[in-house]
Amino acid sequence: MQASLAAALAALLLMAAPAFAGDPARPVTVLALGDSLFAGYGLPAGQSVPDLLAERLRRDGYAVRMVNAGISGDTSGGGLARLPWLLKERPDVAMLELGANDGLMGMPPENLEKNLAAMLDLLAEKRIPVLLAGMRSLANYGPDYAARFDAVYPRLARRYGASLLPFLLEGVAMRPELNQADGIHPNPAGAAKVADNLYPLLKGLVDKVPAGR
């Protein structure tokens, strides 16, 4: 009786575990497409947000290959131009972290939405699930601009069924102890907090990657 119960429990645990967890021969490829917040501007090597996420996934037993496509200063237009080439990496999951520089430069929110939608279309064609990292507009362009900008991310997440982190820098922005001297880019402690914000959503997508993909 006890042996049967143990066997049933073991079977349930195997069913609950991702088929690729701990299998270095078939790592899940995660594409992290973004700007300096993903590139790790001003951070020590290996301390960028994608690096921290990959390390945590591996620590939790996942075999993962992280493609960090963060480029400092990149805009949504630049990300769109790079995405077709990056799809050659054959990602299983994508994280989109773009728009901060669009907002800093006062680019029209309608352009941001158009570029992000085009990226989401390309990823949808490949059936790649997406984690969309939202940003918020600075106050210096006025409340109308901020309202239009901030609405882009939740609207696109609903339209495309993407996982959404409403604000990437939640709990980090405007906190000097978590940012570098420029007040914009997270320091190592801030990057760890950003990774904490993203991790549950990313893990949820990685868990859904089908075996034998």
Give catalytic status of residue 35 as yes or no: no
Tell me, what DSSP letter sits at residue 184?
A: S
| Amino acid (1-letter code) at residue 187 | N
Starting at the edge strand that comes first in sequence, how are the strands of the sheet with 163-165 ordered? Answer: 64-70, 28-34, 93-97, 130-133, 163-165
CB–CB of 207/19 below 8 Å? no
Catalytic pick among 23, 48, 185, 207:
185
Question: Smallest Cα–Cα separation from 101: which of 144, 146, 197, 37?
Answer: 37
Element holding 65 (H helix, E strand)? strand 64-70
Catalytic pick among 36, 48, 76, 163:
36
CA distance 54 to 99: 23
According to DSSP, the β-strands at 130-133 and 163-165 are parallel
Q: What is the dihedral of CA 213, 209, 6, 8, to 10 degrees?
A: -80
Give catalytic status of residue 185 as yes or no: yes
CA distance 186 to 181: 9
Tell me, what DSSP letter sits at residue 164?
A: E
Count other Cβ atoms within 10 Å, centred on residue 200: 10
Catalytic residues: 36, 182, 185
